[in-house]
Amino acid sequence: MTTSSMVNLFSLNTSSGIPIYRQLIDQIKQAIRMDLLKPGEQLPSVRNLASALQINPMTISKAFAQLELEGVLIRKRGIGMLVTEQEKGEALTPAIELPLVEFIQNARSENLDDESIMTLVQQYLSIHTKG
C-alpha cells in the first residue's frame, strides 16, 4: 500500500471522548491484524498524517511512541516509521488467538487481575462443555 493511500485507514472522531492518539493506536493495530499493513511497510510521515488528519504532529508521534514500546513498529529519525517484522511463529490459529487476546485485553481493561481471569476461564470451561 502506498503511504498516501494509508491515510484512508484512519477515521478519527474528535467528539467521541476517546483520545486521538488512542484511536490512532487502535486503528494501526487493527490494520495490522487485518493484514492491511504488512511487516516492513513504511507508514506515512508524522507531518503528512498530521496534515491529512488536521491534528498536531506530536499527537501522531506520541501514539507511535506507544506502538514502538509495544513492539508494533520502529521509528527512526530522518527515515520514518516501519511496521515491525512480527513473530507469528506460534502454531496457534487466528480463530483461537484473536479472541483470546481480545478477551485478555478487555478483561484487564475492566481491571480483572490475572487470578480472576484464570478463574473465569475455568468456570466457562465447565459451563461450555464439549457437547
| Contact indicator for 63, 76 with CB cutoff of 8 Å | no
CB of 86 to DNA, least distance (A): 19
Q: Which stretch binds its own copies (CB under 8 A): 6-14, 38-46, 52-60, 105-113?
A: 105-113
Binding site for DNA (CB under 7 A): 17, 19-22, 43, 45-48, 55-59, 61-62, 64-65, 75-81
- Residue 27 backbone dihedrals phi, psi, to 5 degrees: -70, -35
DSSP state letter for 36: S
The answer to the question of residue 99 lying near its own copies (CB under 8 A) is: yes
Among 4, 14, 22, 79, binds its own copies (CB under 8 A): 22
Q: Are strands 73-76 and 80-83 parallel, antiparallel or unpaired?
A: antiparallel
* Integer CA distances (angstroms), 79 to 36, 116, 119, in order: 21, 44, 47
Q: Identify which of residues 58 and 100 has a Cβ nearer to DNA in the complex.
A: 58
| Contact indicator for 59, 15 with CB cutoff of 8 Å | no
Helix axes 57-69, 20-33, angle to 10 degrees: 50
Q: Identify which of residues 69 and 78 has a Cβ nearer to its own copies in the complex.
A: 69
Residue 20 binds what, of its own copies, DNA, none (CB under 5 to 8 Å, by partner type)? DNA
Cell numbers for 24 = 490512532
Binding site for its own copies (CB under 8 A): 22, 25-26, 30, 33, 69-70, 89, 92-93, 95-96, 99-108, 110-114, 116-125, 128, 130-131
